């Protein structure tokens, strides 16, 4: 029995990445901790890598200084962010499995040959749903709802996710349905009460029609509805309490959100959606936006 520790991202794909490793090695002792790209350096500073036979780092778009502090021989890094792929040669000791994939869950699923393991159909469906959500293909009707249920958890979301869905996806129970209803009502209230700002912003010589809002929950759902209703190129969402910024683009817009986030808000992400920290540059940009009634 090996001691394996998984350090994973705080979102649904991160939680499911841990579940995938756990199901891949049922004979091992597997623990986890949850972090984010923003908190990684701080969280890792007190972590002792040599306490474990293997440390898996999953779904984290690590940058150069972050790679340096976890580059040990017993470390395996799974990730699917394209910017991470560009600097994968910085790993000298760790084993990076960084590929351009629809989700980290799916990357681990394929890399650990989960198809040949004894998973039930419900477990396979769960992995498909999480992949469908993280890639934002949204071809399965439960994908967005599973993500909402995940973010409705308080406390240790990974533990709750594994408890609720470790045996696979069987639909939602009454408790989860109730949580979904509460979120739906919150989103309705948001669109009645909150002010959406809008304006044109020049980036790289091109002018973009941009919306800006303050959001503290369900950023994807809110961004999507704003894009739908306003037809803007992309949405900037500011979470004051979390000191963070999230951006999602219209599917007709070609501006890469991940690249924009890396230059503008010290963050990163994917082409369609990305995030970073609330700084002066983003505050100055949002000053160009005017409230719409
Ligand atoms: Mn992911």
In DSSP notation, 27-83 reads TSEEEEEEE-TTTHHHHHTT--GGGSSEEEEES----HHHHHTT--TTEEEEE--HH
DSSP state, 206? E
Spans of the chain, pLDDT less than 50:
none
Given this model, what pLDDT does residue 38 score?
87
Full set of structural domains in the chain with CATH:
3-175 (3.90.1640), 194-291 (3.10.310)
- What gap in Å lies between CA 34 and CA 57, rounded to an integer? 10
C-alpha 80 – ligand 1 centre gap (Å): 7
CA of 13 to the centre of ligand 1 (A): 5
Cα separation of 118 and 72, whole Å? 31
Q: Residue 270 C-alpha to ligand 1 middle, in angstroms?
A: 9
pLDDT score at 190: 96
pLDDT of residue 270: 87
For ligand 1, the distance from its centroid to the CA atom of residue 59, given in whole angstroms, is 5
Alpha carbon of 187 to ligand 1 centroid (Å): 24
Give 258 Cα–ligand 1 centroid separation in angstroms: 13
pTM score = 0.88
Q: State in Å: Cα 104 to ligand 1 middle.
A: 5
Q: What is the pLDDT of residue 83?
A: 87
pLDDT of residue 269: 87
- The pLDDT value recorded for residue 233 is 98
pLDDT, position 64 = 94
Ligand 1 center from residue 5 Cα (angstroms): 19
What is the whole-number distance in angstroms between the Cα of residue 206 and the centre of ligand 1? Answer: 29
Cα–ligand 1 centroid distance for 205 (angstroms): 31
Distance 134 CA to ligand 1 centre (A): 6
Ligand 1 centroid vs 124 CA: distance in angstroms?
18
């Amino acid at each position: 029995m090996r001691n394996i520790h998984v350090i994973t991202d705080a979102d649904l794909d991160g939680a499911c990445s841990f579940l995938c490793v756990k199901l891949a090695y049922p004979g091992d002792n597997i623990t986890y901790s949850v972090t984010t790209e923003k908190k990684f350096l701080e969280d890792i500073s007190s972590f002792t890598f040599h306490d474990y036979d293997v440390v898996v780092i999953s779904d984290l778009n690590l940058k150069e200084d972050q790679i340096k502090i976890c580059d040990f021989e017993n470390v395996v890094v799974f990730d699917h962010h394209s910017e991470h792929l560009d600097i994968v040669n910085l790993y000298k000791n760790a084993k990076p499995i960084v590929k351009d994939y629809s989700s980290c869950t799916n990357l681990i699923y394929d890399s650990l040959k989960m198809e040949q393991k004894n998973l039930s159909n419900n477990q396979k469906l769960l992995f498909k749903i999480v992949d469908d959500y993280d890639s934002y293909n949204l071809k399965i009707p439960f994908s967005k709802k599973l993500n909402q249920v995940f973010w409705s958890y308080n406390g240790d979301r990974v533990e709750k996710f594994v408890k609720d869905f470790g045996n696979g996806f069987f639909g939602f129970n009454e408790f989860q349905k109730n949580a979904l209803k509460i979120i739906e009502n919150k989103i309705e209230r948001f669109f009645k009460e909150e002010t959406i700002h809008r304006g044109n912003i020049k980036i790289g010589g091109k002018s973009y029609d941009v919306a800006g809002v303050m959001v503290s929950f369900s950023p994807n759902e809110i961004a999507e509805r704003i894009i739908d209703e306003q037809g803007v190129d992309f949405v900037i969402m500011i979470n004051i309490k979390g000191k963070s910024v999230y951006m999602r683009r219209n599917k007709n817009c070609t501006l890469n959100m991940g690249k924009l986030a890396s230059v503008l808000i010290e963050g990163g992400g994917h082409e369609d959606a990305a995030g970073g920290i609330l700084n002066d540059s983003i505050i100055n940009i949002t000053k160009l936006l005017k409230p719409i009634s």
